[in-house]
Amino acid sequence: MPTAPSDPRRRIPRTDDLLTLPEVAAASASLSRPVVTGIIRGVQDRARAGAITPEDVQAEVVRLVTGRTPSALRPVLNATGVIIHTNLGRAPLSAAARAAIADAAGYTDVEMDLGTGKRSRRGTQARAALLQRMPDAEDAFVVNNGAAALVLATTALAFDRDVIISRGQFVEIGAGFRLSDLMESTGARLREVGTTNRTRLEDYADAIGQDTGAILVVHPSNFRLEGFTGVPPLNDVAALAHERGVPLIVDVGSGQFEPDAALPQEPSIGEALRAGADAVIASGDKLMGGPQAGVLAGTAAMVARLARHPLARAVRVDKLTLAALEATLLGPTPPVLAALHADPAELRRRTEALADAVHGAAPNAGVVEHEGRVGGGGGTGVPLPGWALRLPTRLADPLRSGEMPVVGRVADGACLIDLRCIPEDQDQVLAEQIIAAAAAAESTEEEGS
Contact 195, 215 (CB under 8 A): no
The domain 77-85+338-448 is placed in CATH, from the list 3.40.50.720, 3.90.1150.180, 3.20.20.70, 3.30.70.1140, at 3.90.1150.180
Residue 321 phi, psi dihedral angles, 5° rounding: -65, -45
- Three-state SS string over 142-165 comes to EECCHHHHHHHHHHHHHCCCEEEE
* Sequence-distant (≥ 6) Cβ neighbours of residue 437 within 8 angstroms: 395, 398, 399, 402, 406
Print pLDDT tens along the chain (449 aa): 555 566 778 899 999 999 999 999 998 888 999 999 999 999 999 999 999 999 999 999 999 998 788 888 899 999 999 999 999 999 999 999 999 999 999 999 999 999 999 999 898 999 999 999 999 999 999 999 999 999 999 999 999 999 999 998 887 776 677 888 888 889 999 999 998 889 999 999 999 999 999 999 998 877 777 788 789 999 999 999 999 999 999 999 889 999 999 998 899 999 999 999 999 999 999 999 999 999 999 999 999 999 999 999 999 999 999 999 999 999 999 999 999 999 999 999 999 999 999 999 999 899 999 999 999 888 888 999 999 999 999 999 999 999 999 999 999 999 999 999 999 999 999 999 999 999 998 877 666 66
Distance, in Å, from the CA atom of 377 to the CA atom of 380, rounded to the nearest integer, reads 6
Distance, in Å, from the CA atom of 165 to the CA atom of 248, rounded to the nearest integer, reads 11
Helix, coil or strand: residue 93: coil
Is the domain 94-332 a CATH 3.40.640.10 member? yes
**Is-same-fold flag (77-85+338-448; 94-332)?**
no
Domain spans in the chain, listed from the N-terminal domain onward:
8-65, 77-85+338-448, 94-332
Distance, in Å, from the CA atom of 66 to the CA atom of 25, rounded to the nearest integer, reads 10
